[in-house]
Structure 1
Amino acid sequence: MTMVTRREVEYQADGLTMIGHLALPAGVGRRPAVLLGPEGMGLSDVERDRADALAGLGYVVLAFDLHGGRYLGDPEEMLARCMPLLADPDRMRGLGHAALDVLRAEPRTDPGRIAAVGYGTGGIIGLELGRDGADLRAIATLNGLAAGRPGETARIRCPVWAGVGSEDPIMAPAQREEFAADMQAAGVDWRLVVYGGALHAFHHPPVDHPMVPGVGHHPRHAQRAWRDVIDLLTECVPVPE
């Protein structure tokens, strides 16, 4: 692990002033980069800590914002904002591209070696960036599975890793099958890992506010999913020695 420098970055997206979390590894040279997307509740210390951990491994990381600097701990408020967003691929792409532009503009970023890692809503945004032809070297999405509009998934030009809990009622078996069929038909290099016994957002530590039904933390699988993400990054965007 290397020393990490972190700072907030403001940028415009989805009609809001977003406040992202940029984490930089030690040194001065360019490094591979990761665009990190949060769950539907929005950017929290969970994603900030993950960004810092990835920066400690040598990556430039931007954990992006969904809600203009707000964390939506009220499930009804979260769903009222996220459901229309998830139904609008072009809006998701705009939000993702705005954050990706910030990451690309960082002088430490190697613009030819960027991966997207996302959770829930943030993961689906990463997929939509790929479907929009963004130059990404890998996409990882944990409990954020969605098939694309006809013909668009074939525009993904990098490996895709997806993870989901077997008991996740939000990403139910039918949705997993639709995602897998879409990836396979498009000729994408894809993997789907089903973590036995896990619910939705099993990677996320317990929170002190109400959650939508079907959410629950699974500590062992959370660690395994993190290692799976690191393995994908090591394969597709390795940090130079």
Structure 2
Amino acid sequence: MIGHLALPAGADRRPAVLIGPEGMGLSHVERRRAEALAELGYVALAFDLHGGRYLSDPEEMLARCLPLLADPDRMRCIGHAALDVLRAEPRVDLDRIAAIGYGTGGAIALELGRDGVDLRAIGTVNAVTTGRPGEAARIRCPVWAGVGSEDPIMPPAQREAFTAEMQAAGVDWRLTVYGGALHAFHHPPVDHAAPPGVGHHPRHAQRAWRDIVDLLAECLPVTQ
């Protein structure tokens, strides 16, 4: 796996953020987000899903990601491997780490929470996935999730199942539904074929990013 580590200015320890990519894999989009978080004072690691590959073919992406999404233990292995790399960075304040993610990467962030990892916050976009019964009770931090109202991959029934799971587990959770947005609405347009139901929404993409930054500012404030 080949991730992208972004460091803030200075030499002191800082809070850290793990960033999970969409199912296509790590791209310049997540790398830029890591750099943007570093500018805000965080150590940020955007992690890899496919051994350095970016899967522009939707069929290949689905063939790899659907089995992964059906295997919580494998998702946790990927998440823990990335988290180990982030924790090994000397600039990281080990007591202040958050995990955010998009699509498949967001599902992995949630599984780290369900595995009881000590995180300060979990934020996901396009990933209102549910876990194995009872395991959400292990989540030890606030959870924020954002989803498009017209997302056919995360439809209302899936959103309701996710919120029911969080509520039953006593999690401090929030769900933001972005009106008119499709799946992967946060992702800039790509130069290859996109699956049905996927589309960029520039205004909501900016709002979702601000919501992520606000979550981190609340749960993982940077002190200069």
Normalised TM-score (structure 1): 0.92
Is 1:70 equivalent to 2:53 in the alignment? yes
1:212 shift after superposition: 1.0
Corresponding letter in the other structure for 2:93: D
Corresponding letter in the other structure for 1:197: G
CA deviations on 1:36-83 (whole Å, 9 max, x unpaired) are 000000000000000000000000000000000000000010000000
1:109 shift after superposition: 0.4
Q: Tell me the residue number matched to 1:175.
A: 158
1:157 shift after superposition: 0.3
Residue among 19, 30, 33 paired with 2:13: 30
Is 1:232 equivalent to 2:215 in the alignment? yes
Q: Tell me the residue number matched to 2:40.
A: 57
Corresponding letter in the other structure for 1:160: V
Q: Tell me the residue number matched to 1:127.
A: 110
CA deviations on 1:140-170 (whole Å, 9 max, x unpaired) are 0000111110110000000000000000000
Q: Distance in 1 between matches of 2:20 and 2:172?
A: 21
Unaligned runs of 5+ in 1: 1-17
Is 1:139 equivalent to 2:135 in the alignment? no
Mapping of 1:1-241 within 5 angstroms?
Answer: 18-241=1-224
Higher strand proportion (structure 1 or 2): 1
Report the 3-state secondary structure (helix = DSSP H, G, I; strand = E; otherwise coil) of the residue aligned with 2:150: coil
Unaligned runs of 5+ in 2: none
1:30 shift after superposition: 0.3
Question: RMSD in angstroms over aligned alpha carbons?
Answer: 0.4
Report the 3-state secondary structure (helix = DSSP H, G, I; strand = E; otherwise coil) of the residue aligned with 1:25: coil
1:123 shift after superposition: 0.3
Misfit runs of 4+, over 4 Å: none
1:28 shift after superposition: 0.4
Q: Distance in 2 between matches of 1:55 and 1:220?
A: 23
Q: Tell me the residue number matched to 1:5.
A: none
Q: Distance in 1 between matches of 2:103 and 2:130?
A: 14
Q: Distance in 1 between matches of 2:133 and 2:29?
A: 34
Corresponding letter in the other structure for 1:233: L
1:211 shift after superposition: 1.1
Count of residue correspondences: 224
1:21 shift after superposition: 0.1
Report the 3-state secondary structure (helix = DSSP H, G, I; strand = E; otherwise coil) of the residue aligned with 2:183: coil
Report the 3-state secondary structure (helix = DSSP H, G, I; strand = E; otherwise coil) of the residue aligned with 1:181: helix
Q: Distance in 2 between matches of 1:123 and 1:139?
A: 9
